[in-house]
Amino acid sequence: MIAAAAPGDELDIFMACLHSLGRIDEVLRLTWEDVNFDKRTITLWTRKRRSGEYESDVLPMNEDLYSILKKRWKERKQDNWVYYNEATENRFFHRPKMMRSICKRARIEPIGKGMRKETKGKNKGKMVEHDLYYGFHDLRHFMATYLSDTAKVSLKTTSGLLRHKNLKTTEIYLHPMDESLRIATTKIEGKFTQKNENPLTIPSHTKEQGVTDNK
Number of domains in the chain: 2
| Residue 38 vs residue 203, higher pLDDT | 38
Among 95, 125, 152, residue at a domain's last position: 95
Tell whether 82 is covered by a domain.
Answer: yes
Tell whether 29 is covered by a domain.
Answer: yes
What integer pLDDT is reported at residue 121 of this predicted model? 85
Same domain, 80 and 16: yes
Is pLDDT at 198 greater than 90 in this prediction?
no
Same domain, 91 and 151: no
Q: How far is CA 28 from the centre of its chain?
A: 16
pTM of the predicted structure, to 2 decimals? 0.77
| Residue 215 vs residue 66, higher pLDDT | 66
Among 67, 95, 123, residue at a domain's last position: 95
Same domain, 23 and 89: yes
What integer pLDDT is reported at residue 2 of this predicted model? 95
Same domain, 88 and 21: yes
pLDDT one-digit tens code per residue, 160-171: 999 888 888 887
Tell whether 186 is covered by a domain.
Answer: no
Among 147, 162, 178, residue at a domain's last position: 178
What domain range includes position 63? 9-95
Lowest average pLDDT, out of 66-80, 148-162, 172-186, 199-213, goes to: 199-213
Q: Indicate which CATH number applies to the domain containing 49.
A: 1.10.443.10
Tell whether 105 is covered by a domain.
Answer: no
Residue 155 and residue 171 in contact, taking contact as beta carbons nearer than 8 Å: yes
Same domain, 84 and 24: yes
Separation CA 188–CA 53 (nearest Å): 53
Q: What is the mean pLDDT of residues 34-51?
A: 88
Tell whether 184 is covered by a domain.
Answer: no
Tell whether 153 is covered by a domain.
Answer: yes
The three-state secondary structure class of 155 is helix
What integer pLDDT is reported at residue 49 of this predicted model? 62
Tell whether 84 is covered by a domain.
Answer: yes
Which amino acid does the sequence have at 42?
I
127's CB contacts (< 8 A; 6+ apart) are 115, 116, 117, 118
Sheet harboring 35-36: ordered strands across? 35-36, 41-46, 55-60
71's CB contacts (< 8 A; 6+ apart) are none
Tell me how far CA of residue 116 lies from CA of 50, 110, 124, 136, 193, in angstroms.
28, 15, 11, 17, 48
22's CB contacts (< 8 A; 6+ apart) are 16, 44, 59, 140
Tell whether 174 is covered by a domain.
Answer: yes
Same domain, 79 and 149: no
* CA-based nearest residue to 56, from 163, 166, 140: 163
Residue 56 and residue 42 in contact, taking contact as beta carbons nearer than 8 Å: no
Residue 91, beta-bridge partner list: 84
Residue 46 and residue 26 in contact, taking contact as beta carbons nearer than 8 Å: yes
Same domain, 141 and 90: no
Same domain, 91 and 143: no
Same domain, 23 and 86: yes
